[in-house]
Structure 1
């Protein structure tokens, strides 16, 4: 019985591999690289959802392409713009611990008769736009090296 199951699984894997290869060959033969020159005019494809308001028209009369737009200049990729992801140490449950990098700002939140000190913390593996306001007492207790 185990041999039959193993054979059935192998047969299914071969069929899936053949289907994937067939779909890849269909996609690759229809995929052509597009090259445009400065001064040419192009149309831009609009997503094909129906009954969604796009460019002033709705329903099945909404445009599939918009344009023409003239190409003013060509963009040349610069190798210095490539971002290299940093390694993140994952735990067994595929989570990771975020550590604060630095404190960007401080403020006091004033409630009726109470003052709550807050600090803006920039986290590791995050940009400054994703910094969060945290309680100063908690950050001071957990990460005294930042103060």
Structure 2
């Protein structure tokens, strides 16, 4: 529980339950191994049934995804979806034109600023 309390508030305002997490396997009659995220790597993944709650299905928890086209070395090519914004980065001696690029399989918050000349070469 100390690992969980680090992430939220302490004391009686700390979350009573976190999750949901996937059950990997049953360990004995009353314990289960859970798939915890990397942020909870300091916590042992086996829990007694008294520490678990039944999951009630919620349609908002279902995530949609697009299948990635992986290469043989398990990498994939980023594809440009849309240019969201433009700006000029002013340095001492020069100015650099930039564009904010939204990539496929990424959220709007994950859009990156790229140089215009590099983007024209990659995506004419």
**TM-score, shorter chain, exceeding 0.5:** yes
Distance 1:80 1:136, change over 3 A: same
Q: Which runs of 4+ in 1 moved over 4 A?
A: none
Task: Verify: 1:117 aligned to 2:107, yes or no.
Answer: no
SS of match in other structure, 1:91: coil
The structure richer in helix per residue is 1
Within-5 A mapping of 1:1-147: 27-31=27-31, 77-144=57-124
Distance in 1, matches of 2:63 and 2:29, equals 31
Distance 1:82 1:28, change over 3 A: farther
SS of match in other structure, 1:141: helix
Distance in 2, matches of 1:111 and 1:26, equals 59
> Number of residues paired by the alignment?
82
TM-score, structure 2 normalization: 0.55
Distance 1:83 1:106, change over 3 A: same
Larger radius of gyration: 1
Distance 1:112 1:48, change over 3 A: closer
Root-mean-square deviation (CA, aligned residues, Å) is: 2.9
Unaligned runs of 5+ in 1: 1-23, 33-46, 50-74
TM-score, structure 1 normalization: 0.47
